[in-house]
Amino acid sequence: MPHEPAVHHPTPITWPPAPNHHTAAPLPVLPTGSGIAWVTLPDGTRTLAYTHPTHPDVPAAPAPTATVPAWAKTTALLAPTIGGGIGAAGIGISYAAPGVLAMAEALWALVALIAAGTALPLLLRTGRSTRGRGAAPVQHITQHVTASGLFGRAAGTINNR
């Protein structure tokens, strides 16, 4: 079995001295700020002990507070706003979807109407020309345009045959 080291417990200096201790003498008054003071132990005994000096005029350092970076605060404030905006846009699109589909069908109907409106005069013109008047002669027109340089003035001639 290993030998345990002896633990040294210093004997405290007690005041007032015990009556059976004949060598105890009163101690002089201790200078202030020396780090030694009379203290009372948990068992009620008063003794001299080294103490930590206290400075009442020096304020205690404030407890460190966790600081949050400015970009984190900005992001935290913008996140619900952006999320709410996206949610509102989704709701708006869901309400607008039937109208958008109806508008797409109306646009297709307009395209069909324009196509029919363009084809109708062509059909009427071809129908009239074949009704007994005979076909009109075919004309050929040729045009020659010339220009000199990039920004030169163009000149041309038209020939009817």
Mean pLDDT of 111-132: 73
First to last CA, the chain: 134
Separation CA 48–CA 34 (nearest Å): 12
Q: What is the pLDDT of residue 86?
A: 92
Look up the pTM and report it. 0.27
14-33 pLDDT, tens digit per residue, is 565 555 544 444 556 666 56
d(CA 85, CA 97): 18
Looking up tokens 């027109």 gives: 141
User: Can you tell me the distance from the alpha carbon of 44 to that of 49, in angstroms, rounded to the nearest whole number?
Assistant: 14
- Rounded (10°) CA dihedral 19, 23, 29, 33: -110
Alpha carbon distances (Å) from 132 to 120, 135, 137, 143: 21, 9, 15, 33
Q: Are 46 and 58 in contact (CB under 8 A)?
A: no
Q: What whole-number distance in Å separates Cα of residue 51 and Cα of residue 34?
A: 9
